[in-house]
Amino acid sequence: MTAPRTTFDLSFYPVLDLERTEGLDPVALAIAAATNGATLLQLRGKQAETRRLVELARALKAALAPFDVPLIINDRVDIALAAGAAGAHVGQDDLPAVDARALLGPDAILGLSVGTIEEAERTPSEILDYVGVGPVYATGSKADAGEPIGLEGLRDLTGRLHARESRLKVVAIGGIGIDHVPEVMATGADGVAIVSALFLAEDVGQAAAAIAHRVGTARPAMP
């Protein structure tokens, strides 16, 4: 089975981690991001109860629809299916990508986390739409993120993945702040995934607008 040729933009890809937004309204945060330039949004709820995740995913999908921002679910393919999300993102220790694709079908967006050369070399690129590469910098938003690979590591892995499958998109993730965007995208990455720098900002809408501006400015300089 070959991967779908789904059209989507992951240049500014917020990751809404419920463990990093305690006490805040996830839907309001998502709308603030979408209103100010987010192009794709992921819901991550590692510790959340299944019922809550389904209800929240459905609410987020409805809230993002007017902005044409697809919703991706981290790890939980069952939640993605139940909520009718655009797709799912899996890690190296989650449901294997080939099984996730079989469950999601050919039209869903499917992403996979990669952080080493070995992982990149065994990536089933033919069934994926994008790969999340990192962590680029040290991050506190994901306990099992691994050691930072730095800009050179990102450049290397991005080059390897693009060489394997030119249509495969690469999004950088891990400790990326607003000021990092130009140097990260200059490595050849197709976008940036932002967690804390966006959703822990005092003004999420303002932070989103600033990130979107940096992404837009950096795009012409991309290799």
In order of their start, the domains of the chain are 12-221 (3.20.20.70)
pLDDT tens digits, one per residue of 134-191: 999 987 655 555 789 999 999 999 999 999 999 999 999 999 999 999 999 999 999 9
| Catalytic residue ranges | 44, 113, 142
- The string of pLDDT tens digits covering residues 70-84 is 999 999 999 999 999
Q: Going by DSSP bridges, is the β-strand pair 130-133/169-173 parallel, antiparallel, or unpaired?
A: parallel
The whole-angstrom separation of Cα 91 and Cα 132 is 9
Euclidean distance between CA atoms 127 and 207, whole angstroms: 34
Give, in order, the Cα–Cα distances in Å from 219 to each of 33, 98, 115. 19, 31, 23
pTM here is 0.94
Residue type, 58: R
**Tens-digit pLDDT profile for residues 23-55:** 899 999 999 999 999 999 999 999 999 999 999
Which residues lie across from 109 on neighbouring strands?
87
